[in-house]
Amino acid sequence: MPAFSLEPEQHAWRAELRTLAAQRLRPLADKGEPGHVNRPLLAELGRLGLLARLFASGALELCLMRESLAQACTEAETALALQGLGAHPVHAHGSPAQKERWLPGVAEGGAVAAFALSEPGAGSDAAALALAAEPDGAGWRLTGEKCWISNAPEADFYTVFARTTPGAGARGVTAFLVPADRPGLTGSALQMLSPHPIGALRFDAVPVTAADVLGEADRGFAVAMGTLNLFRPSVGAFAVGMAQAALDATLDHTGRREAFGGRLKDLQTVSHQVAEMALRTEAARLMVYAAATAYDRGAADVPGRAAMAKLLATEAAQYVVDTAVQLHGARALRRGHLLEHLYREVRAPRIYEGASEVQRGIIAKELYARTHHQEAP
């Protein structure tokens, strides 16, 4: 059976999620304030059991959740994904005490998590982190800044990546679980194109100890990359969900809209554009499913597959949403229109969790490594 085939129950679950998103999550999302954490929405995701499934499911199930929610309510999708991104390092590498303290709250939607990797001078080059973890006898003091952090500054705790060994590149980074109420930790919101909360964090000698380390000291880069390998295909799933929503809206619009003596769909230039939108959406979906299945099976080529899935899906979604706007005309640019919303949402995924250029670099690196391995005696 191909890696991307879905079982009938998986198709049914996707449909159920789309209905839940439209009926129970969309109304809560509409009441939220753009740029701020929507805690009632998170609580409802918890009541529905979706947040708990972040830690009980594999990559394919995560992708199915994100794609399905994104079709009907991007705010719900993003709220779920950010909980997973911020808390997965705790789930995968946390101590029993860390897990007991934070994961139940994350699953219930009461504790807001955030993944704090990017810095003003270290976005795509994650190994160039400058946030300093300076030994102070009892542990470390964190000094520096983080930037472009989703859910900041309103999260309840942060998975923070800091440099414990200067000059060691990726080998000198440690992951810490830092509660938001630690002395010296402050933050500010950033006004961004996308509607979900994004902010900057400032660390002024924030105290952390060995009890706050996630995994092992100086091994934090592996924690970050392991998390991203899981979530990159699901970023692609988010993009596929948005592309499908734009495609569905376009099929409806072009099938009804009268222009030039007939319906828009009867114009070959329009129908061919719609066909291209469908082609790219389905190709992205299949690659996302294949990458997620490879992750769940423990395949050796997960980094390359994850990068391909994220790259193809986010670039495809940008094309599909942009084309949908063009075919809808000026109405799609009106504030509150579905496509106006998707147009703002679709741009960021080509940058976060590794920009498209970074994904191409990962793909090339994996290809050449494989070639070198095959040529070795």
Do 120 and 263 belong to one domain? no
Does residue 1 fall inside a structural domain? no
CATH number at residue 123: 2.40.110.10
Q: Is the Cβ–Cβ distance between 280 and 243 less than 8 Å?
A: yes
Q: Are residues 182 and 83 in the same domain?
A: no
Strand partners, 206: 142
> Mean of the pLDDT values across residues 294-309?
92
Residue 353 annotated in active site: yes
Confidence check: pLDDT of 334 > 60: yes
The predicted-structure confidence for 236-282, as pLDDT tens digits, reads as follows: 999 999 999 999 999 999 998 877 777 888 889 999 999 999 999 99
Q: What is the pTM of this model?
A: 0.92
Looking at the structure, do residues 356 and 249 belong to the same domain, yes or no? yes
Domain-embedded: residue 3: no
**In this model, does residue 197 exceed pLDDT 80?**
yes
Per-residue pLDDT of 2-39, as tens digits, reads 345 788 899 899 999 999 999 999 999 999 998 899 99
251 and 295 co-located in one domain: yes
Please report whether residue 297 resides in a domain: yes
Whether 237 and 362 share a structural domain: yes
**Residue 357 token pair:** 């250029």
The pLDDT value recorded for residue 376 is 56
What are the structure tokens assigned to 376, written together?
């070795």
CA–CA dist 248, 250 (Å, integer) = 5
Strands (E), the chain: 113-116, 132-135, 140-150, 157-163, 173-179, 185-189, 198-208, 213-214, 258-259, 262-263
Which of 108, 129, 153 delimits the end of a domain? 108
Shared domain for 63 and 154, answered yes or no, is: no
pLDDT of residue 3: 44
Residue 153 has pLDDT above 60, yes or no: yes
Domain that holds residue 191: 113-218
3-state helix, strand, coil in the chain (%, to 5): 60, 15, 25
- Strand 113-116 to 132-135 pairing: unpaired
Q: Give the residue from 73, 108, 143 where a domain finishes.
A: 108
238 & 307 share domain: yes
Question: What is the pLDDT averaged over residues 318-347?
Answer: 95
Query: Is the distance from CB of 52 to CB of 42 less than 8 angstroms?
Result: no
For position 58, which CATH number holds?
1.10.540.10
Least confident of 123-127, 196-200, 214-218: 123-127
Task: Say what the pLDDT of residue 195 is.
Answer: 79
* Same domain assignment for residues 43 and 103: yes
Please give the backbone phi and psi of residue 219, each rounded to the nearest 5 degrees, phi first.
-115, 20
Measured between alpha carbons, how far is 138 from 141 in angstroms, rounded to an integer? 9
Same domain, 54 and 181: no
Please check the confidence at residue 114 and state whether its pLDDT lies above 90.
yes
Choose the final residue of a domain: 108, 138, 173: 108
Distance CA 265, CA 186 (A): 53
Same domain, yes or no, for 71 and 101? yes
- Summary mean pLDDT of the chain: 92
The band of 211, judged by pLDDT with boundaries at 50, 70 and 90, is: very high
pLDDT at residue number 373: 63
Residue type, position 126, single letter: A
Q: Which of 77, 345, 353, 366 is catalytic?
A: 353
Mean pLDDT in residue range 82-111: 97
Same domain, 183 and 281: no
Say yes or no: 232 and 367 in one domain: yes
Q: For residue 126, name the pLDDT band (cuts at 50, 70, 90).
A: low
Q: How many domains does the chain have?
A: 3
User: What would the two tokens of residue 134 be?
Assistant: 């300076």
Asked if pLDDT for residue 363 goes beyond 90, the answer is: yes
Nearest-CA neighbor of 351 among 124, 128, 149?
124
Residue 289 lies in a domain: yes
